[in-house]
Structure formats: structure tokens, C-alpha cells
């Protein structure tokens, strides 16, 4: 847990404890693949890493891309856990091309996030809405 916390902070601790139930799972796949991971695959692997993902650090995506024999890392310059949960039109376009015709993005490709992580605050009362500096949404003085 401390190793996971050193890499990912509290998200690492959470993921460690969330997986505790799996450590005593009674079944093991008969054909479980245990590596090596650097063998060439029939098709290159597309990895998508989100730069500011609190649960899966970007450095881990870079490390995995380096371990695989034939992989390309597509960087999502965004926030939140994965580009799947935090949709991005640029990432989706590269993923679609990859699944349809096997095309990989150029090495070093990065996609900017479509939306900011938090919307801009909407002004309520005050000067921003045409009222006096001390008025609220109803126009009353506070």
C-alpha cells in the first residue's frame, strides 16, 4: 500500500484496499499469461494515458509503453480518471482509426481536453449581473 501511495498518493491507497478482496479469490485462469511483455504482438498496441489522472499515473502509462514490444502511447492532456470516463474528441478519433484500420497516431501525439475540468462559475448577483456590489440574486442588500 505504501508503494502504491508513493506512486499515486491517496488514490494508490484506495486502489490497494479496493483490490484486497481479489487476493483471496479461489480461481486462477488455466492459461493466464505471465509474460514476458516485450514480445512482438500480431498488431501494435494503442495505449491512452491521461496526464492528470489521479488513479492511474501518467508515468505508469509511459512505463508500460516502454515495456511492450510494439506499443504507441497517445497522451490525453486532461484531467480525471481515463479518457473513457472523461471523453475527448481527439482521443476518440484516434481510437476509432485504430479499431477500424489499425492506424496508430504519430509518435508523441497529444490530445488536449475538450472541456475544462471545472466549468467557469456563473455570476450570481453583484456587479457581474448589473446590480450593486452588495446585492444578491434577488437584488436585496446583504
So what's the pLDDT on residue 39? 92
Contact 13, 4 (CB under 8 A): yes
pLDDT at 141 over 70: no
pLDDT at 109 over 80: yes
The span from the CA of 45 to the CA of 48, in Å, is 10
So what's the pLDDT on residue 104? 96
pLDDT at 100 over 70: yes
Per-residue model confidence as pLDDT tens digits over 26-78: 888 888 888 888 999 899 999 999 999 888 889 999 999 999 999 999 999 98
Q: Are strands 110-112 and 71-79 parallel, antiparallel or unpaired?
A: parallel
- DSSP-derived 3-state class of residue 21: helix
Name every residue whose Cβ is closer than 8 Å to that of residue 127 and which is 6 or more positions away in sequence. Answer: 133
Name every residue whose Cβ is closer than 8 Å to that of residue 14 and which is 6 or more positions away in sequence. Answer: 55
The span from the CA of 105 to the CA of 112, in Å, is 14
Closest-CA residue to 69 (of 93, 35, 102, 99): 35
So what's the pLDDT on residue 112? 93
Where does the pLDDT of residue 5 fall: very low under 50, low under 70, confident under 90, or very high at 90 and above? confident
So what's the pLDDT on residue 25? 78
Where does the pLDDT of residue 139 fall: very low under 50, low under 70, confident under 90, or very high at 90 and above? low
So what's the pLDDT on residue 30? 86
Give the residue ranges of DSSP H helices in 9-136. 10-18, 58-67, 82-85, 89-101
Amino acid at each position: 500500500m505504501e508503494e502504491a501511495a508513493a506512486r499515486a498518493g491517496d488514490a494508490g491507497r484506495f486502489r490497494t484496499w479496493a483490490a484486497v478482496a481479489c487476493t483471496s479469490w479461489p480461481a486462477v485462469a488455466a492459461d493466464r499469461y505471465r509474460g514476458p511483455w516485450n514480445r512482438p504482438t500480431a498488431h501494435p498496441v494503442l495505449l491512452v494515458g491521461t496526464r492528470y489522472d489521479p488513479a492511474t499515473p501518467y508515468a505508469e502509462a509511459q512505463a508500460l509503453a516502454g515495456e511492450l514490444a510494439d506499443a504507441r502511447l497517445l497522451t490525453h492532456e486532461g484531467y480525471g480518471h481515463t479518457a473513457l470516463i472523461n471523453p475527448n474528441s481527439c482521443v476518440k478519433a484516434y481510437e476509432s482509426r485504430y479499431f477500424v484500420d489499425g492506424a496508430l497516431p504519430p509518435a508523441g501525439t497529444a490530445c488536449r481536453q475538450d472541456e475544462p475540468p471545472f466549468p467557469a462559475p456563473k455570476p450570481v448577483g453583484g456587479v457581474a449581473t448589473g446590480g450593486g456590489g452588495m446585492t444578491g440574486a434577488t437584488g436585496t442588500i446583504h
